[in-house]
Amino acid sequence: MPGFELFGDNERKELNDVLENGVLMRYGFDGMRNGHWKAKELEKELESQLKVKHAQLVSSGTAAVSIALAAAGIGAGDEVIMPTFTFVASFEAIMMLGAIPILVDIDDTLTLDIEAVRKAITTKTKAIMPIHMCGSMANLDALKVLCDAHDLLLIEDSSQATGATYKGKPLGSIGDLGCLSLDFVKIITAGEGGAVLTNNEKFYTNADHFSDHGHDHVGTDRGAESHPFLGYNFRISELHAAVGLAQLRRLDEFVSIQKRNYTIIRDALSQVPEVTFRTVPEGGEESYSFLSFFLPDLEVARKVSSAFKEHGIDACFHYYDNNWHYIRKWEHLKDLKTLYPLSEEVREGLKYLQTKTFEQSNHYIGRNISCLIKLSWTVEEVKERALKMVEIIKEICS
């Protein structure tokens, strides 16, 4: 991860197809295309590889989450349960619809703690949204039991875990809806883009229409299409879809390389008594895009993180001190710093963040380091990296 590391001839060929016919928009202009429909091709490829009936390409992963929620009828005043460890886009996408993000603790999977989710369910809860961070997953069976018991939707965000599976099923295909990001630093990149995945015909139709101003996409005359309901512009371009198409066809290749590099480093770190690894739910297989491990305490994790940087071990993240991925530094959310007035429902609904603490999340994130697994490393580079990491950790823990 990310796929841009191995950008090459396949991606250039798909891009050139678009440039040569000159149609950059995914809809319309049928006569000019010479049969080129990159967005449609990528949607079919997503459906095939991720084993879902429907994929709807959109402009970003953030848009995918908002569209998935809207497609399922979630909006003003509704509550969506999500983890404290994610990217800021998760709560942004929820709030865009006037819904309320309810943040709860994570456990040693680095994803939703099941008991914390159970305690957070109220009469306003409409969905549980696990975010499969750093290449691995939430306990989806346990979450599905909760959703079934309380008549809630399960919406997966597998933006950082494309290629991972749970009990043989690709992540993103298991919930009522799944969301992907195809941005520049994801396993499969389109430069910018995202996708909504679902097996539900109604949700798919809603996503298809909503992401294109409410167009129903019936017939071949775009100007004559009707608008069953309001929508917005979350379209992907043919240029982005072309890159994503070439990249998705290489997913197995990418995961294989990541697994090789991940395994070399994990095997080395396994020899250090002070290192333990995140829990992967039974039946799960990671995408191997990150190697996440725990150290004895926050102080040790900070020292190791600093030493890694000093010794050229790049792309290893101590998220406890990160502005983007962990609630601890999300002051703009806690203090509701917006450019426009929020609804009273949202303002009231987020008051809990003024006083709520997340000690369990701190316990795990404070001790965790997540290391990006690069596709471009040679085997010798990975072995050298692993040796340096072991030496640094042993020195600090001695």
Do 190 and 205 fall within a single domain? Answer: yes
Do 268 and 146 fall within a single domain? Answer: no
pTM for this model (two decimals): 0.97
Half-sphere exposure of 147 (CA within 13 A, CB side): 22
pLDDT value of position 1: 85
| Domain containing residue 243: CATH number | 3.40.640.10
d(C-alpha 55, C-alpha 187), whole Å: 18
pLDDT value of position 123: 98
d(C-alpha 315, C-alpha 20), whole Å: 38
pLDDT value of position 348: 98
Do 11 and 98 fall within a single domain? Answer: yes
Instruction: Quote the number of domains for the chain.
Output: 2
d(C-alpha 59, C-alpha 77), whole Å: 25
Do 238 and 272 fall within a single domain? Answer: no
Do 281 and 195 fall within a single domain? Answer: no
**What contacts 342, CB < 8 A, 6 or more positions away?**
95, 336
Do 209 and 258 fall within a single domain? Answer: no
Please identify, among 229, 249, 269, the residue that sits at the C-terminal boundary of a domain.
Answer: 249
Do 38 and 119 fall within a single domain? Answer: yes
Do 256 and 239 fall within a single domain? Answer: no
Do 199 and 342 fall within a single domain? Answer: no
Domain that holds residue 28: 3-249
Do 46 and 131 fall within a single domain? Answer: yes
SS3 351: helix
| Domain containing residue 350: CATH number | 3.90.1150.10
Do 191 and 283 fall within a single domain? Answer: no
What are the average pLDDT values for consecutive 10-residue runs of the chain, which has 398 residues? Answer: 94 96 95 94 98 98 98 98 98 98 98 98 98 98 98 98 98 98 97 98 98 96 96 98 98 98 98 98 98 98 98 97 96 97 97 97 98 98 98 97
**What contacts 369, CB < 8 A, 6 or more positions away?**
292, 293, 295, 301, 304, 305, 308, 316, 317, 318
* Residue tagged 């909504």 (tokens): 196
Do 47 and 91 fall within a single domain? Answer: yes
